[in-house]
Structure 1
């Protein structure tokens, strides 16, 4: 494994680094907060407008499935964008692709705010997701640059505390904004958030990839790097477990606004509050992971996280088949979401552990896998005569499959040690 180098600030602005530290990580708290905010730009873009999906469908005279495509478009943009910005960050350093991506993100958010029809909104959301990927992949690559081993798993758990605030705040903020503005105002707010992140990245993010460690080569080298990563079982297995778990999470994101608001009659504000509770569960488990990973190891926690998600998925399917109400559905959804608090940091740490020299590309594949899974799962949950049942089936199938992937990784590790 390539030893991580300390941050190289020679190409960064001359800004005094924070002196406080995060536990035993030796990483400034200010940098952790900034990296968490950059990772949070994806969830912020996805979740803030969720309470407004029914309003968008009404205002633009669009069907439910067409409106859900605005979510699918963002997920596809995030997936493709990471394939673009990840290798770029390995070749050009972390800062330049990040700053360019954030600048275009602001423009994309403004385009969404003024979109006159569902087609142009879908196009704007695609560009918004593509450019948000710059923040997410750069944040993971920088975190890998400045840490390794168990400290890296703890750092990713710490980032989840900051990143977890985005999906908690986003739907609540979106629901409250709908009291005073329309869904267009929500996209205006995302543009403002993009400006703030752009300024922060310009003046507070150091360059952590020295010139001598940057990769050379063009498209062929990028493809070769991706091929090597996918062929490595140590990378592929946690990637698969994360992808399948994320498919369940994004199935929840796409289907829950209609299930809970249209079917069960919750208001946009009640839905956003319930969404926040679920995400607090995710954040709580991510922090527990950071505290115990040095004792259990990340593989055990990855298996525990996928199992929690699967219990929730099977519970949701059982509740739907039985025609149960919110008292059965809400706890099941809570498990589907909160289990990701164990999945995200530990799958990421396992996948990146042996790939410090290609952290940008490896991070890109992790992110692409997550959002491609979401891009597939999101439209599926709206199909069929009973969308609630379709959503439950999709979430149950993919979360159970994620347990199989995690078990496969644990078994492979046992055989390697035998």
Structure 2
């Protein structure tokens, strides 16, 4: 049965709450990370590896979870993932060593991968046309909105109660979903539409055989890697390099993510009137130009917070439009394998996130290095899409 936001607001709200979990896992503990490293006796660069470890386990899990949700349905896979996230948060709340931090984040990667894997496919299962695109844009906006609240609220929680409370709150959020919301959520993938024959490897190979899928997936992933450089380095850059407090960092990080939130909302409106690929192409070109402006600014004024903050804010607005339209396109073009398409996309995103985080572990010490890394990764995406795989050449338009 098809539903839309007007007919089933509850289901739409639950899907939006689900997609917020991965964002909280990434950002909620960021303000506490420098102090966490100092208290537990390991270096800041090692502390940042917890983010890398989270991404690696999420990557590995996604490759399996997407096909599982196509075969066994979205709801049972979702419930298991939420329970795993609760266990991970409880482990992290009792953390007293680097080993527990890495184990906890590793287990949490499985839980957040499940939320990533099922949210957009649930929308695509039951919605068509502009309504599906608008709802997927809304879910992207909620994800970014959680990114806005994550470091800001996390900074307040850490300053008042310590990092254990941060993880207790994450566990409680997942528990409320399991007990109160998910039981009333309908299964969106009926038995007759589930995949039962081909292996998960074959499903991913079929996905990548299509040229348009390859273009969308690779370009979106590499661009995402550029912004992983910013996200992973942000706490240390603002607090160590620019000398801001954890609360000030939380507010600045939240402001910039709020700009992305607005961009995602705007994209949800624009896809009703303009082709998704046109929105991606325009926003992608603006990304390249904005990143070059950022690079020039930080080299002219290397210690100026304003010279960093303003160009990055513009960059994040444009990225909100690009990433939202890219994610919509991948899932919308593959309605019969939405779980595999969504998981394959996020797997590539996380792979590039991991590479970006690894680079930051070496080069996070100045705004110049971070801007140079972001620019280099974006230019790499341009080489891949414009030289190796001409963007959208001869491809059909995505109809609304």
Q: TM-score range by the shorter chain?
A: over 0.9
Bigger mean CA offset, 347-356 vs 94-103: 347-356
Bigger mean CA offset, 198-207 vs 356-365: 198-207
Instruction: Summarize the Cα distance change of 1:409–1:209 in structure 2 as closer, same or farther, 3 Å threshold.
Output: farther
2:194 matched to which residue of 1? 214
Q: Which runs of 5+ in 2 are unaligned?
A: none
- 1:360 equivalent in alignment to 2:339: yes
Deviations 1:359-403 (A, max 9, x none): 111111111111111111012112148454332222112223445
Match of 1:124 among 98, 104, 116: 104
1:10 matched to which residue of 2? none
Instruction: Summarize the Cα distance change of 1:417–1:338 in structure 2 as closer, same or farther, 3 Å threshold.
Output: closer
- C-alpha distance in structure 2 between counterparts of 1:27 and 1:381, whole Å: 46
User: In 1, are the aligned partners of 2:120 and 2:331 still within 8 Å (CA)?
Assistant: no
User: In 2, are the aligned partners of 1:242 and 1:347 still within 8 Å (CA)?
Assistant: yes
1:90 matched to which residue of 2? 70
User: In 2, are the aligned partners of 1:146 and 1:208 still within 8 Å (CA)?
Assistant: yes
Number of positions where the alignment pairs a residue of Structure 1 with one of Structure 2: 396
2:118 matched to which residue of 1? 138
Deviations 1:139-174 (A, max 9, x none): 111011012333322121122232232111111111
Match of 2:316 among 305, 327, 337: 337
- 1:378 equivalent in alignment to 2:374: no
- 1:306 equivalent in alignment to 2:284: yes
Instruction: Summarize the Cα distance change of 1:263–1:353 in structure 2 as closer, same or farther, 3 Å threshold.
Output: same
Alignment of 1:292-331 (within 5 A): 292-322=270-300, 323-331=302-310
Instruction: Summarize the Cα distance change of 1:127–1:417 in structure 2 as closer, same or farther, 3 Å threshold.
Output: closer
2:251 matched to which residue of 1? 273
Match of 1:237 among 210, 215, 228: 215
Deviations 1:324-364 (A, max 9, x none): 41111001221332223212321122212332111111111
2:238 matched to which residue of 1? 260
- C-alpha distance in structure 2 between counterparts of 1:229 and 1:147, whole Å: 21
User: In 1, are the aligned partners of 2:241 and 2:366 still within 8 Å (CA)?
Assistant: no
- 1:251 equivalent in alignment to 2:229: yes
TM-score, normalised with respect to structure 2: 0.92
Instruction: Summarize the Cα distance change of 1:155–1:409 in structure 2 as closer, same or farther, 3 Å threshold.
Output: farther
- C-alpha distance in structure 1 between counterparts of 2:143 and 2:42, whole Å: 32
2:172 matched to which residue of 1? 192
Instruction: Summarize the Cα distance change of 1:198–1:409 in structure 2 as closer, same or farther, 3 Å threshold.
Output: farther
- C-alpha distance in structure 2 between counterparts of 1:364 and 1:263, whole Å: 36
User: In 2, are the aligned partners of 1:235 and 1:350 still within 8 Å (CA)?
Assistant: no
1:14 matched to which residue of 2? none
Match of 2:206 among 220, 228, 231: 228
Q: Which runs of 5+ in 1 are unaligned?
A: 8-20
Match of 1:394 among 373, 382, 387: 373
Aligned-residue offset at 1:408? 7.4
User: In 1, are the aligned partners of 2:14 and 2:182 still within 8 Å (CA)?
Assistant: no
1:81 matched to which residue of 2? 61
Instruction: Summarize the Cα distance change of 1:375–1:411 in structure 2 as closer, same or farther, 3 Å threshold.
Output: closer
RMSD: 2.3
Match of 1:49 among 29, 42, 61: 29
TM-score, normalised with respect to structure 1: 0.89
Aligned-residue offset at 1:410? 10
User: In 1, are the aligned partners of 2:297 and 2:308 still within 8 Å (CA)?
Assistant: yes
- 1:164 equivalent in alignment to 2:144: yes
User: In 1, are the aligned partners of 2:137 and 2:328 still within 8 Å (CA)?
Assistant: no
Bigger mean CA offset, 94-103 vs 293-302: 293-302
1:17 matched to which residue of 2? none
